[in-house]
Amino acid sequence: MIAVLPLEGIPEIEEGDDLAALLEEGAARHGGLQARDVLVVAQKAVSKAEGRVVVLEEIEPSDAAREHAGEGDPRHVEVILRETARVVRSRPPLVIAETRHGFVCASAGVDSSNAPGSGTVVLLPADPDASARSLHERLGVAVIVSDSFGRPFRQGTTDVAIGVAGLAPLLDYRGTRDRVGYELKTTQIAVADEIAGAAELVMGKTDGIPAAIVRGLALEGDGTARDLLMPPDRDLFR
Amino acid sequence: MIAVLPLEGIPEIEEGDDLAALLEEGAARHGGLQARDVLVVAQKAVSKAEGRVVVLEEIEPSDAAREHAGEGDPRHVEVILRETARVVRSRPPLVIAETRHGFVCASAGVDSSNAPGSGTVVLLPADPDASARSLHERLGVAVIVSDSFGRPFRQGTTDVAIGVAGLAPLLDYRGTRDRVGYELKTTQIAVADEIAGAAELVMGKTDGIPAAIVRGLALEGDGTARDLLMPPDRDLFR
């Protein structure tokens, strides 16, 4: 069995906070972090600790942003465009963007909910894998930085891994055999995304729970969230 | 906290098996099914119990199937095309199809791994929501029928809900406020998909564990997996 344990009682994160220390305190009521735990931390907590917050008043929107914004806030759209490497789809004011990291998501991950004040927006971490790696090195457990992404074809968001350290995000069954001896040729499971989604179930969106422990997995290896990006030559939806 | 409990010791499922009874037996070692449990059952177990298995020897491939198959098995491709309402993308022998149910997935959900014998393939249930509803009525808990789907832009599969009964698959935050008072305008979380993914983490692909209990959630409502389908007018990737 696995257990998914919410880290409660962590205060609202602010720039410069020692996130690793706060997470460790939050884990104390679950007996502290244990060797094979996976610690899932919401992107917004990481971004806030790293100061990835933009004050809209200080943003001068470009013509492109004004044009795209329609009835939305052109300064918000300007921030989105600055985080965007490639616009994948757009239906104003919605932008589906490929971020500079290579993630395809709404608004290039720029979000105004749970931002530290009205008139601010929160960006994705500059390097979520590095953020995860830093927490992993401090805390000694596998770490996933998670964010809520929409998906083509399906309604609603699910949390996925945008930063990974200390576990292999893909579980590779290629070459193994099923119960009846059939060789699994193409099966790779995005376990890091499934773990991020499981953690979301206890974190919620309005409860101020920025992290969860997923305990009881026996995963091996190492890797980064880049392993989860579809290479352009295999991407049928570019 | 939530717990994800594998249902072990369930024999290989065959057509006509009383799946509900087998699941109930499997749940016995976890204290039996409890009122707010969500029972996640792998599609393949449901399909096999319902006899949704095709013997390839009995299939006469069409010209379209032969053409598409390349070096693959044209009979397998023929079965895929029969399950397909619309080809969304194709790169022979790969087909991304919209199934008759409305799901967009590889091979219209037709799969030869863990099939009951070589030379057979397993189809999705004819009506996975009805399959879930039937188990829900027999067992008294929320039921999700799950399958492993690939995703555009991201590598690896995650398990998602293709049949739902006894819970609302989307958790709707629209109109609620976050910690700082910002109204969440568009947030809907596909909790049924996150639950299916969490269950996959204990089911694996080769261990013969066809189901899991997710215990400790406090979800309300009811719905079907159709609620998870993106309506065509909102689908930017058709």
Q: Which of B99, B110, B194 to mutate to test the interface with A (most CBs of A within 10 A)?
A: B194
- Domains of chain A: total: 2
Residue bearing the bigger pLDDT, B135 or B111:
B135
Query: CATH number, domain at B100?
Result: 3.90.1660.10
Confidence of residue B48 (pLDDT cuts 50, 70, 90): very high
pLDDT digits (tens, 9 = 90+) for B65-90: 999 888 889 999 999 999 999 999 99
Among B94, B112, B201, the residue with its CB nearest the CB of A217 is: B201
Check CB contact of B5 with chain A, cutoff 8 Å.
Answer: yes
Confirm whether B129 is domain-assigned: yes
Residue B185 pLDDT > 60 = no
pLDDT at B156: 96
Stretch 209-228 of chain B: residues touching chain A, C-beta under 8 Å: 217, 227-228
Residue bearing the bigger pLDDT, B183 or B129:
B129
Same domain, B46 and B153: yes
pLDDT digits (tens, 9 = 90+) for A11-48: 999 999 999 999 999 999 999 999 999 999 999 999 99
Q: What's the length of chain A?
A: 238
Confirm whether B234 is domain-assigned: no
CA distance B10 to A214: 26
For A198, the 3-state DSSP assignment is helix
**Listed residues B98, B123, B148: the one ending a domain:** B123
Same domain, B149 and B199: yes
Among A96, A208, A228, the residue with its CB nearest the CB of B155 is: A228
Residue A161 pLDDT > 80 = yes
Q: Read off the amino acid at residue B153.
A: F
Same domain, A92 and A146: no
Give helix B191-203 / helix A191-203 axis angle, nearest 10°: 130
pLDDT at B204: 77
Region of poorest pLDDT, from A55-64, A148-157, B183-192: B183-192
Same domain, B101 and B133: no
Q: How many CB atoms lie within 10 A of CB A175?
A: 9
How far CA B110 is from CA of A163, A233, B77, B106, B130, in Å, comes to 33, 24, 9, 8, 19
Residue A209 pLDDT > 70 = yes
Same domain, B144 and B177: yes
Confirm whether A166 is domain-assigned: yes
CA distance A179 to B12: 9
Stretch 49-78 of chain A: residues touching chain B, C-beta under 8 Å: none
Least Cα separation, residue B51 to chain A (angstroms): 17
Q: List chain B residues with CB under 8 Å of A12.
A: 179
Q: Do B202 and A1 touch (CB under 8 A)?
A: yes
Same domain, B174 and B106: no
pLDDT digits (tens, 9 = 90+) for A108-120: 999 987 667 679 9
Give alpha helix (H) positions in chain A: 19-28, 43-49, 63-69, 74-82, 128-139, 191-203
Same domain, A47 and A134: yes
CA distance B40 to A154: 19
Same domain, A22 and A71: no
Same domain, A71 and A176: no
What is the average pLDDT score of chain A? 92
**Listed residues A94, A123, A152: the one ending a domain:** A123
Among A114, A156, A173, the residue with its CB nearest the CB of B228 is: A156
Q: Do B230 and A113 touch (CB under 8 A)?
A: no
- pTM equals 0.95
Q: Mean per-residue pLDDT for A174-199?
A: 78
Same domain, B100 and B210: no
Confirm whether B22 is domain-assigned: yes
- Provide the number of CB pairs (under 8 Å) joining chain A to chain B: 220
pLDDT at A37: 98
Check CB contact of A110 with chain B, cutoff 8 Å.
Answer: no
For A57, the 3-state DSSP assignment is helix
pLDDT at A196: 98
**Listed residues B103, B123, B143: the one ending a domain:** B123
Same domain, A43 and A134: yes
Range of the domain at B82: 53-123
Q: Do B179 and A208 touch (CB under 8 A)?
A: yes
pLDDT digits (tens, 9 = 90+) for B11-26: 999 999 999 999 999 9
Confidence of residue A227 (pLDDT cuts 50, 70, 90): very high
Same domain, B95 and B152: no
Stretch 16-45 of chain A: residues touching chain B, C-beta under 8 Å: none
Check CB contact of B120 with chain A, cutoff 8 Å.
Answer: no
- Name the percent of chain A lying above pLDDT 70: 92
Q: Mean per-residue pLDDT for B44-72?
A: 94
Q: Do A3 and B6 touch (CB under 8 A)?
A: no
Q: Do B237 and A152 touch (CB under 8 A)?
A: yes
Query: CATH number, domain at B14?
Result: 3.30.1330.100
pLDDT digits (tens, 9 = 90+) for B190-233: 999 999 999 999 997 667 899 999 999 999 899 999 999 999 88
Confirm whether B81 is domain-assigned: yes
What is the average pLDDT score of chain B? 92
Q: Read off the amino acid at residue B28.
A: A
